[in-house]
Structure 1
Amino acid sequence: MLRSQKDLFALPPDLHYLNAAYLSPQLRAVEAAGVSAIRVLRDPTQVGAADFFDDSDHVRALFADLVGSPGSADRVALVPAASYGVETVAQNVTLGPGRSVVVLGGQFPSHVYPWRRLAAETGGEVRTVEAPAPLGAEGRGAGWSERLLDAIDADTAVIAVPHVHWADGTRFDLEAVGARAREVGAALVVDGTQSVGALPFDLDAIRPDALVCAGYKWLLGPAGTGTLYLGERFADGRPLEETWLGRAGSDDFSGLTDYADDYGPGAVRFDMGGRANGILLPMLIAGLQQLRAWGVGEVQATCAARADVIVDGARALGYAAEDAAWRAGHLFGLAPPPGIEADAVRRALAERNVAVSTRGGVVRVSPHVYNDGADVDALLGGLAAATGRGRAVAA
């Protein structure tokens, strides 16, 4: 476990923030990087041609290292949002009558809408794999993963899933899903927005055809940033935008009107327009560098230790949660006791300056390395108050 890293953030001292899945609080280093970058723009002569490329390539390298595949940096594109990345992939998928896209029940909308549109336009099908039982039921997590594998067959064109469910943190065995995808020739498209940066992701073991991550959650960067890894299946695909920076020779500013039909190397063709943002990229770099300093495994271990205490205390109060083997330590759901609404629990917590979210009828708790025992105590106290059972104290 890491000790509490609260001093690296500027959170209000009386706030118990257990809501990183909603929006990451800004690291002091990320804030400083943004302020410094803004100041540079006071004098545009300080911005040279290399600045249009160096920070972008630094992000690619840091992200590839984060997912355990440093040699894959050239396959990383820069995108403004997870939805942009998913749409990029969807535009390069062939679907048709009898072919399906497999998704999970209650999956985040930006990883569903593009597939619904594609299926409607081509006569394909979106096949939704629902959870086999309510949160907390015995064998639910294992059963959901089994259902997912069973839904993948010879007619499956795309498996579009997250590593952990955004609403309740249920984990899925992506190595098994990836192996099944390769058996049937389907594309595996993973939304890592709610996992990469907090839960180890082994790119070389899972072997996704695409992995997209928004930057403003577990990557600790600002909104408007994100990353899209694309494997060989999509290497020669068509980008959403025909950007000048995506073309071969774009580093020669004096020859930009010597129009090139060839794209730049690797995944550069898929970069968003305006990717060379001199303010946002330094901020994302600062976040990724801090993650590398901590280690993603250490982040997960720290969060999981907090999660175990929280889940044990919540269960004693009548709340239900997924089994440890099938939940993430950094994001997990608590189903309130019968007769108590999740929003009522959230309001009781808010009265104690405890920040969480409610998603899909459960209380979504998402700790990070800035949390400490006082945050856990405050959370359990609010959970107890919502049930009318007084104040609980963390073990």
Structure 2
Amino acid sequence: MTTQILPSQRALFDIPDDIAYLNCAYMSPLARPVVAAGEAGMARKARPWQVTPQDFFTDTEIVRGLFARLVNATAEDIALVPAASYGLAVAAHALPLQAGQSVLTLAEQFPSNVYPWMEKARAANAAHMQVPRPADDDWTAAVLARIDAKTAIVALPHCHWTDGGLLDLVAIRQACRDVGAALVIDATQSLGALPFDVQAIDPDFLAVGGYKWLMGPYSFGYLYVARRWQQAMPFEQNWIARRDSENFAGLVDYKTDYQPGARRFDVGERSNFALMPAAKAALELLLGWGVENIQATLASRTAMIASRAREEFGLGSAPVQKRAGHFLGLRFKNGVPADLPVRLAAGNVFVSVRGQSMRVTPHVYNTDDDVERLFRVLKSALG
């Protein structure tokens, strides 16, 4: 498939011309169609007599299918969750871990993909191992070197949340397969901007928060569950995940079995009449742009920013082949000045600092003028 550089989609967003918002890794702005869909969804509950039992199921199945298209799965494989942390809790609940085995995560990994494994390892008298940050930015090699016969679970991102350091999940999956380890991915900082194919990578679980690169509302996310785990016990028990829950009159005829596929892992009250329409509109927008096109567009922009930052200010970053194209972590020789984000925000430039990097994470709503503002304000802020 031939990718294309997308023109700026600024008109679809409520971003004033004098604002350079380069912080999608923090939280994406909602596009106008997404806001409109959410407002319309919220208004529906003002007239609950117009909400039918079927309405609890229609949009959920559409959204399940839209997300499945993003990862090359089927709707049967997708659960609807409120956050990546919930999806990761489902994974931790389902996966076996024995005493003497180990769980592997990255140093400085986002806490939602660390805490469940710390607790699971503690409860099982297993080890929680962290892969140290590699000096050469080669996370893949560092992870592969740590996987051994004791490794039971490898829980990773697709790219590191502090600086975009990229992992080759296909190679890591093969190493996991060789030792019989499960692979759990938190793709909150990548999915929607970086292509992901569950057929190629074959994760056991893939959890995603929807409010960053999926351009959706807060408190709405997704969970892919591989077929081999779809009979596992859910993390919670709720009525809508049970068989025949469409029949409201028969809900007291309690069932022991569940809705098919990954639906048993859906969170209670998944049929959120405000968030569900907004999530649907966001996924439709992303699929219309094409994730491959989004990645090409953002990779082009971050490469240019990285080059200028190096030439004009001597700032470093992970090599382009070792970071995700949509994600740029700029490194200062003496560390990021503590108040730099505040000084940049005073000039209407919005970035964030995570770990030892200043994250610059644009999206398709950004323009060349935003980049010029970034460098103009950065020059002033650095004196």
Normalised by the shorter chain, which TM-score bucket?
over 0.9
- C-alpha deviations, 1:229-288, integer Å up to 9, x for none? 000232111112111111111111121111110111011110001001111100000000
For residue 332 of structure 1, report the CA deviation from its aligned partner. 1.7
Match of 2:216 in 1: 221
1:66 aligns with 2:62: no
Distance 1:205 1:237 in 2: 23
Match of 1:163 in 2: 158
Match of 2:25 in 1: 21
Q: Secondary structure at the match of 1:141?
A: coil
1:152 aligns with 2:156: no
Q: Is the 8 A contact 1:344 1:386 kept in 2?
A: no
Match of 2:16 in 1: 12
Aligned partner of 1:50 among 51, 54, 59: 54
Q: Secondary structure at the match of 1:308?
A: helix
Given the two structures, how large is their TM-score scaled by the length of structure 1? 0.93
Q: Is the 8 A contact 1:190 1:212 kept in 2?
A: yes
1:117 aligns with 2:119: yes
Match of 1:80 in 2: 82
Q: Is the 8 A contact 2:154 2:176 kept in 1?
A: yes
Aligned length: 378
Distance 1:199 1:384 in 2: 31
1:132 aligns with 2:127: no
| Aligned AA (2:330) | L
Match of 1:326 in 2: 322
Q: Is the 8 A contact 1:345 1:382 kept in 2?
A: no
Distance 1:274 1:106 in 2: 33
Gaps of 5+ in 2: none
Question: Does 206-215 or 377-386 show the bigger shift?
Answer: 377-386
Distance 2:125 2:302 in 1: 44
For residue 343 of structure 1, report the CA deviation from its aligned partner. 2.9
Aligned partner of 1:250 among 245, 249, 254: 245
- C-alpha deviations, 1:277-324, integer Å up to 9, x for none? 111100000000000000001111111111011000111111010111
- C-alpha deviations, 1:208-249, integer Å up to 9, x for none? 000000111111111110000000232111112111111111
Distance 2:72 2:36 in 1: 28
Distance 2:16 2:347 in 1: 14
Aligned partner of 2:274 among 279, 283, 290: 279
For residue 55 of structure 1, report the CA deviation from its aligned partner. 1.0
Gaps of 5+ in 1: 134-139, 389-395
Given the two structures, how large is their TM-score scaled by the length of structure 2? 0.96
Distance 2:72 2:295 in 1: 15
Distance 2:274 2:9 in 1: 25
1:234 aligns with 2:229: yes
Distance 1:231 1:364 in 2: 32
Provide the identity percentage. Answer: 47
Which consecutive segments of 4 or more residues in structure 1 shift more than 4 A?
none
| Aligned AA (2:323) | R
Q: Secondary structure at the match of 1:106?
A: coil
- C-alpha deviations, 1:12-55, integer Å up to 9, x for none? 33210000110110110010001111222222122111111111
Q: Is the 8 A contact 1:171 1:326 kept in 2?
A: yes
Question: Does 32-41 or 155-164 show the bigger shift?
Answer: 32-41
Q: Secondary structure at the match of 2:154?
A: strand
Q: Secondary structure at the match of 2:130?
A: strand
Q: Is the 8 A contact 2:306 2:328 kept in 1?
A: no
Distance 1:68 1:295 in 2: 13
| Aligned AA (1:5) | Q
Distance 1:376 1:343 in 2: 22
